[in-house]
Amino acid sequence: MPEKFAPLYVVPTPLGNLADISERARAVLREVVWVAAEDTRHSAPFLTYLGSRARLMAAHEHNERAAAEQVLARLAAGEAVALISDAGTPGISDPGARIVAHVRAAGVKVIPLPGPCAAATALSASGLEDAHWLFYGFLPAKPGQRQKALMEVATLPHALVFYEAPHRVLESVGDMVATLGAERTLVIARELTKQFESIHSLPLGAAAEWLAADPMRQKGEFVLIVSGAPVASDTHAAERILKLLLAENLPVKQAAKLAAAITGVAKNALYARALEWRR
Ligand code: SAM
């Protein structure tokens, strides 16, 4: 990396509550020469609020390629740049990836700061116990494509995290019921960190009625999280296999050993179960 290159900082900004800016993010935004912002008009008052005198350049989805060149040119001149989006973490359902890729491909240092992200904020209060989650972001706006996209993830045993616009929430929830089933838990996280923040969990099948019951419930910004597809219980499968083997007159010990080897369920547990049935 050439000596004189300055680094690119990737800086998350608050989702709504300005107090959520980190000390480090504030310091970086005050120190850099340039801020590359998704919407310069939106970010100008925020930088003033922070006491930053950085110069603004536009970096949105329609000019990202040109913006990437511009950012690299500033870094080459030894002027540090901070990349921000309108809210949350750049590059997460927001522009930024192309700029970061271009800067890293040139061997120039990219320094990411941790900070606000609607998906992580919603997950932290979801109460869902799924061990894994899949960040989907925005579903397609067209119903046919949306249903197809949902079908592709319908059998995953992971919580699914979606971003959704208020005017599409009802439609999307309808498609989720049709493709993922009515039984799974839906967490509706709305207006996080803002005055009318609300986090509500309910079965997917009850969500449309709940949303329609009060027009306020369809207003603002949404994260929708659906619990993962239920996994057919391994124990259940192991016991079915065990029963079949016993019906073939295999000795209990051998049947338990085989059922355990096939399913991965503990041999001793299956042996005890078989003895119970025998009694
Ligand atoms: N980069 C952002 C992040 O790190 O979360 C996301 C940007 S994306 C263009 C905007 C979407 O994020 C909104 O449509 C909504 O789904 C979600 N979102 C942003 N702020 C939110 C908030 N305060 N409460 C709930 N969802 C929010």
Shortest-distance atom of ligand 1 to CA 12 = 4
* For residue 151, pLDDT beyond 70: yes
Shortest-distance atom of ligand 1 to CA 191 = 24
Shortest-distance atom of ligand 1 to CA 162 = 16
What's the pLDDT tens digit per position in 58-84? 999 999 999 999 999 999 999 999 999
Is 83 a domain residue? yes
Centre of ligand 1 from the C-alpha of residue 109, in Å = 27
Of the candidates 147, 162, 181, 167, the residue with the CA atom closest to the CA atom of residue 211? 167
Number of structural domains (the chain) is: 3
The per-residue pLDDT for 260 is 85
Shortest-distance atom of ligand 1 to CA 194 = 23
| In a shared domain, residues 93 and 127 | no
Shortest-distance atom of ligand 1 to CA 165 = 14
Is 1 a domain residue? no
| In a shared domain, residues 127 and 210 | yes
Centre of ligand 1 from the C-alpha of residue 125, in Å = 15
Is 147 a domain residue? yes
Residues contacting 19, CB < 8 A, separation 6+: none
| In a shared domain, residues 130 and 210 | yes
| In a shared domain, residues 135 and 99 | no
| In a shared domain, residues 134 and 164 | yes
Centre of ligand 1 from the C-alpha of residue 15, in Å = 7
Centre of ligand 1 from the C-alpha of residue 178, in Å = 25
Residue ranges making up the domain that contains 272: 235-278
Ligand 1 pocket (Cβ < 6 Å) reads 15-16, 85, 87-89, 92-94, 117-119, 163-165, 189-194, 221-223
How far is Cα 60 from Cα 40, in angstroms, rounded to an integer?
9
Q: What is the pTM of this model?
A: 0.85
CATH code for the domain in which residue 56 is found: 3.40.1010.10
Average pLDDT for 217-241: 88
The per-residue pLDDT for 202 is 98
| In a shared domain, residues 134 and 213 | yes
Is 3 a domain residue? no
| In a shared domain, residues 126 and 217 | yes
| In a shared domain, residues 205 and 266 | no
pLDDT band for position 261 (50/70/90)? confident
Is 19 a domain residue? yes
| In a shared domain, residues 76 and 145 | no
Q: What is the largest CA-CA distance in the chain?
A: 83
* For residue 2, pLDDT beyond 60: no
Average pLDDT for 205-217: 96
Q: Whose CA is nearest to atom 16 of ligand 1?
A: 163
Centre of ligand 1 from the C-alpha of residue 221, in Å = 6
| In a shared domain, residues 90 and 126 | no
Centre of ligand 1 from the C-alpha of residue 87, in Å = 7
Point out the domain boundary residue: 186, 206, 226: 226
Is 95 a domain residue? yes
pLDDT band for position 233 (50/70/90)? low
Compute the half-sphere exposure of residue 95: CA atoms within 13 Å on the CB side of its CA.
Answer: 20
Q: What is the mean pLDDT of the chain?
A: 94
Average pLDDT for 218-222: 97
